[in-house]
Chain A
């Protein structure tokens, strides 16, 4: 079910800090309906690269080279146009210009559920707000909320619960539901396995992959567990200290 038009085409991404190069000429494509793993040693710039793909850049001087296209959205636009070498102010403008894409074209699935959910709002209310970011709202909002809760394996009653009333595992499922509710084209998950026991690690990753596939979203997964990558990734972006390259695996 791989989409022909890539979601993200990054070419020659280079990010610099004042004294050293953090990401040096990384190129890759991310396709819808597939799992792309982003791997590499510590300090290779995995998180920076993932954030740069979402147009979130906050290092100075930051982006100095590279082009970023979202062909599934508009093949002509290079989103980094005018940002390269522009320092913090240009990067801030890019952030503002692309605000409507985050949460809609991309969703970020955070490491800790507790930081993703608003403790003072019910899960149903948070889902309703996330669904509100879609371009075409559903006819029956409450049916849609029930459907998404079912997707992540939660009962309809969870809709009325506050995050604090859910167990840790249920809160994590709810956070995933909020991430996929706007029907994003791409879900970015930054080390979702951190701190989990081995059995839970597999369960969380499998849930993430299943929900993304069923919702038709691509998944960019940052992971340093070789097992996970070997078992679930369709494509692998390998960052090697200073040089990035892509390679497909089964």
Chain B
């Protein structure tokens, strides 16, 4: 990874106090519905050129956060700013012309491709329809992007004629050719073998446009470690630790389990609904005076705001 984030430039993404509550209806029309608190107060910024990983267990809110950032979901509360402009609360007509800058890499490559279009047609269509290029410019740019990704010999292949890795590279070419400011990739390597994962990430992160930000949602901690500047670890709809792994190691007791699940006992208790969600299983809670962990949910402490922030009473005290 030889990209470096430009931390002094205005950030690509600013998220403030993000909250998302879904209403889950009951089994019957007369059953009571209940609120599901998917995201409960998330703040972060992403600098130009920065790659961040969003990690956490299933249901921790990773996908919801990334969908809100792209404007595919409206937040219940909070603000999203992209390139200094307010992004949440816009109508689709207002967002549409800007969407070209903020792109999404899907998990299921085969499902995202048109079975009747060749690799080249996919990229050309994206460039003319979304990117507004003239036909011959689109053709030239598409060929050069596909060649960059090693698909120069496969321009006229249909999705079913391509390997899984090649299909994924077509979805990457389509996104990267638009020269986006932000790429959100939701588990782009899920289901691939370890050696293919490496090359998909190399293709994605190695070809990001200068100054673009990237959010990588992943379950693979070694990927996050190898490819991302900062890691945001999520638990129960909040970020509990933000860490630059080149400068520090995770210290939150839950984040440590997430990073090395074999290092100690697995959590067994349900998450607490008041105070720190990890309180029932936390080995450090006893070190904290009184019952602060049970009474008051810790927020991210800005000890070293650029490289490391932790939401844990035991770490702060």
A133 vs B234: C-alpha distance in the bound complex, in angstroms? 45
Q: For B94, list chain A residues within 8 Å (CB).
A: none
Instruction: Return chain B residues, CB-CB under 8 Å to A206.
Output: 266
Q: Are B258 and A198 in contact (CB under 8 A)?
A: yes
Q: Does A199 contact B190, Cβ atoms closer than 8 Å?
A: no
Q: CB < 8 Å: which of B57, B193, B194, B196 contacts A197?
A: B57
Contact (Cβ within 8 A) B262 A195: no
Chain A, range 215-250, C-beta contacts under 8 Å to B? 224, 227, 231
Asked if B56 lies at the interface with its beta carbon under 8 angstroms from chain A, I say yes
A200 to B258, CA, bound (A): 10
Structural contact, A202 and B190, CB atoms closer than 8 A: no
Q: Counting chain A CB atoms within 10 Å of each CB, which of B196, B220, B260, B262 scores highest?
A: B262
A198 touches B219 (CB 8 A): yes
The reply to whether B195 and A196 form a contact with Cβ atoms under 8 Å apart is: no
Is the beta-carbon distance between A42 and B258 smaller than 8 angstroms? no
Which of the residues A41, A43, A201, A224 comes within 8 Å of B261, measured between beta carbons? A201
Closest to B165 in A: A42
- Please give the distance in Å from B108's CB to the nearest CB on chain A: 11
Write the nearest CB–CB distance from B278 to chain A, whole angstroms. Answer: 12
- Complexed CA–CA distance, A182 and B273 (Å): 41
Contact of A114 with B by CB under 8 A: no
A197 pairs with B219, CB closer than 8 A: yes
Q: How far is the CA of A206 from the CA of B262 in the complex (A)?
A: 10
B191 at the interface (CB under 8 A from A): yes
Question: In residues 39-62 of chain B, which contact A (Cβ within 8 Å)?
Answer: 56-58
Bitwise, A175-207 to B at CB < 8 A (1) or not (0) is 000000000000000000011111111110010
Q: Please, which residues of chain A bring their CB within 8 A of the CB of B195?
A: 41-42
Shortest A97–chain B CB gap in Å is 33
A202 touching B194, Cβ below 8 Å: no
Known contacts A42-B196, A203-B266, A231-B262, A197 near B191 by CB under 8 Å: no
Q: In the complex, which residue of chain A has the Cβ closest to the Cβ of B60?
A: A197
- Chain B hits for A202, CB < 8 A: 261-262, 266
Residues from chain A with Cβ under 8 Å of B221 in the complex? 198
Q: Are B191 and A194 in contact (CB under 8 A)?
A: yes
**Which one of B219, B220, B261 has the greatest number of beta carbons of chain A within 10 Å?**
B261
Cβ contact of A42, chosen from B193, B219, B259, cutoff 8 A: B193
Query: How many A residues touch B, CB cutoff 8 Å?
Result: 17
Query: B152 near A: Cβ within 8 Å?
Result: no
If the complex has contacts A202-B261, A231-B262, are A195 and B191 also in contact, measured as CB distance less than 8 A?
yes
Does B257 count as interface, using CB distance less than 8 angstroms? yes
Do residues A200 and B58 form an inter-chain contact, with CB atoms below 8 A? yes
Residues 259-287 (chain B) with a chain A CB within 8 angstroms: 259-262, 266-267
**In whole angstroms, what is the CA distance A50 to B266 when docked?**
30
Report if A41-B193 is in contact (Cβ < 8 Å); known contacts: A197-B56, A199-B267, A231-B262.
yes
Interface centre among A198, A203, A224 (most CB of B within 10 A): A198
**Shortest CB distance B296–A (Å):** 25
Shortest beta-carbon distance from B222 to chain A in Å: 9
CB distance from A229 to the nearest CB of B (A): 11
Instruction: Judge whether B58 and A197 touch: CB under 8 Å.
Output: yes
Q: Of A195, A197, A201, A203, which is in contact with the most chain B CB atoms at under 10 Å from its CB?
A: A197
Residue of A nearest to B267 (CB): A199
- Say whether B57 contacts A199, CB under 8 Å: yes
The reply to whether A199 and B196 form a contact with Cβ atoms under 8 Å apart is: no
Question: Taking the nearest CB of chain A, how far is it from the CB of B53, in angstroms?
Answer: 13
Cα distance A146–B262 in the bound complex, in angstroms: 30
- Alpha-carbon distance A201/B261, docked complex (angstroms): 9
Shortest distance from the beta carbon of B206 to any chain A beta carbon, whole Å: 21
Residues in chain B near residue A224, CB distance under 8 A? 193-194
Closest to A231 in B: B262
Interface centre among B58, B191, B221, by most chain A C-beta atoms within 10 angstroms, is B58
B268 to chain A: closest residue by CB: A203
Question: In chain A, residues 48-81, which have Cβ atoms closer than 8 Å to a Cβ of chain B?
Answer: none
* CB-defined A-B contacts under 8 Å, sample of 11: A41-B193, A41-B195, A42-B195, A42-B196, A194-B191, A198-B219, A199-B258, A201-B261, A206-B266, A224-B193, A227-B261
- A-B pairs, top 6 by smallest CB distance, nearest first, are A42-B193, A202-B261, A197-B57, A198-B261, A197-B219, A199-B261
